[in-house]
Each structure stands twice: as structure tokens, then as C-alpha cells.
Amino acid sequence: MVETQEVIKYPLDDYLRTERLPHIWCPGCGIGMALQALLWSIKELHEQGVIDRKKVCFFTGIGCTARASGFVKFDAIHALHGRAIPVATGAKLGNPSLIPIVFSGDGDIAAIGGNHLLHAARRNFDILVVMVNNMTYALTGGQLAPTTPTGVRSTTTPRGNPENVMDTTKFVASLRPNFVARYSVTQPTVLRTVFKKALPKRGFRFIEVVSTCTEIFGRHTGFRDPYELYLRLKKICKIKKISSIDEIKYDWENEITCGTFIDKDDPSFLDMYFKMYKPRGMVYGES
């Protein structure tokens, strides 16, 4: 009797373009953990009937994180550097029943795409933005990012970064969109819960995921061992409740404040537009 070997299916296989695996991410990279947490949250929401996975679509720019659009089994576009947010915006305008997720890196979202980030957050526009922050331009070999800690060397600041650092989460929080959170890949279970919370909401939702980049950022900071970098993040990524956004810290030496800093249900851009302009024959969910 010939025994047929049972193919073991990973629970997220239905949400991945498995034929495109293995992915491009280096050993020790945290992007996979961020993506995994996101896919689990989509799977759970889909299975619970909260969202329809057919409506979920991925928008990514350029960078290591942005490559995710090619690995996930959703409608997706791998677009231009920095422009994932406006492409997602247009798609949501074109079909308000879509659930757009922008999944990209810190260079893509905070640097070249900073203007789009600012205005999407200010408008409380109905998209979820997940920014995986590895504190460097990893795909292009380790150049300076606005999120690179001051003093840290990069290939374009060989004597150390002379700039002030950008705390993207604090910046977005100052614009008061409906949801702002920051967690780390060292908190994967929390991440999954937070994605699950943010995904079905209306308005602009921003989640920064502080991640590990051993190959590039680790090399510049003396963390060649993924485990060591992971432990460092675990030490400094402190989940806190805050009473003012002034308490949010982005300090590579001591504390990167994590937590859900804003979670509200103000009318979103599309809520407002549909209420005020009543585009004929169009509906935007149940208000």
C-alpha cells in the first residue's frame, strides 16, 4: 500500500501567492512578522464575516516592505516610490466599498511620501496605512532615512546622521485621524489585535510597526545578530498609555513609545463627502 504524503497547508496559504515564495526578505528581517500579523487579522475578520476579503486591496510603493504586494493574494498594486497613499485614495474614490491597505516602509511613507501621508491623515481619509519602520533604506543598500536615529551611520552619512529624527507616529497623531498606533514586531500578538481593530474602521488609520533589519541597519549599529537586534527593540519598545502626544518618544537609545494613541470614530472624509455632496446613485456603507 502506497502512502500518499499529505501536503501540509499553512493556515495563511489562501492569502498568499504561494507560487511566488520564497520572498525576498533577508534572514532576521521583521517585515514577514508584520505581514503575518496583518494577514491573520484579515483572515479572522473575513471568517467572522466582518469584512469580505475580496474587497481588501494592497497598495505599496517601493522598498523592502513594498514588495509585500507581490506575495499576498489580494488585489494589489506595486506602484511608484512614495505614491501608494494617493493610489489607494483614488481606488477608494473609484469604489468606496473597497478596503484599501497601504503597506510600505518608512522611506516610502514618511520621506518621499510624506506630503501624501500628511494630507490623507488630515482629511481623515478612509484608508489603513501600515508603515513598517526599519529605520533605513534597506532595499537600496542602507542610505539615510528620516527615521534613522541621530548619530547612526548610514551609507550616505558615513560619519553619523547629523539630522533630527522624524517620529512619524507622533507627527500623524498631531493631525488627529481616527486611529494612530505604534507597535513593534517584538509584540506580534498585540499587532494582530491592533490590525483587527483598525481594519474595519472608517477614516484614516495609521499603524507604525517598528521592525528589525539586521542586514543593513544592524550592520550600521553593531547588531549583526538578529536575536540581539530583536532584544534591543524588545527593550526599548515600551507599550504605554499616554495622556498627551508630547509623551510619545522615538529614542533609539532609551524608548520608542508604543501603544494605541488615538482610537475614535469621527466622521471620515467619505462620510462627510457623501453627506454634503450626495453623489447620485452612490452609497458609502451604513453611516
User: What residue ranges bind other proteins (CB under 8 A)?
Assistant: 17, 20, 54-55, 57, 59, 69-70, 73-80, 83, 86-95, 97-98, 115-116, 118-119, 273, 277-282
Residue 72 or 132: the one with the smaller Cβ distance to other proteins is 72
Residue 12 or 80: the one with the smaller Cβ distance to other proteins is 80
**In the structure grid, which three cell numbers stand for residue 133, read together?**
519602520
Shortest distance in whole angstroms from residue 260 CB to other proteins: 27
Shortest distance in whole angstroms from residue 121 CB to other proteins: 11
Shortest distance in whole angstroms from residue 183 CB to other proteins: 27
Shortest distance in whole angstroms from residue 67 CB to other proteins: 8
CB-based contacts of 2, cutoff 8 Å, min separation 6: none
Residue 116 or 182: the one with the smaller Cβ distance to other proteins is 116
Amino acid in the structure at residue 218: G
Shortest distance in whole angstroms from residue 108 CB to other proteins: 13
CA distances from 285 to 83, 126, 255 (A): 26, 12, 40
What gap in Å lies between CA 259 and CA 241, rounded to an integer? Answer: 7
CA distances from 164 to 87, 121, 126, 142 (A): 30, 22, 31, 18
Q: What is the rounded (10 degree) CA torsion for 166, 109, 198, 240?
A: -20
Amino acid in the structure at residue 94: G
Entry field: residues in the chain: 287
- On whether the CB atoms of residues 88 and 76 are closer than 8 A, the answer is no
Residue 20 or 234: the one with the smaller Cβ distance to other proteins is 20
Residue 20 or 235: the one with the smaller Cβ distance to other proteins is 20
Residue 239 or 282: the one with the smaller Cβ distance to other proteins is 282
Residue 100 or 226: the one with the smaller Cβ distance to other proteins is 100
Q: What is the rounded (10 degree) CA torsion for 174, 110, 90, 179?
A: -40
Shortest distance in whole angstroms from residue 115 CB to other proteins: 6
3-28 burial, b if ≥16 CB within 10 A, otherwise e? eeeeeeeeebeebbeeeeeebebbeb
Shortest distance in whole angstroms from residue 91 CB to other proteins: 4
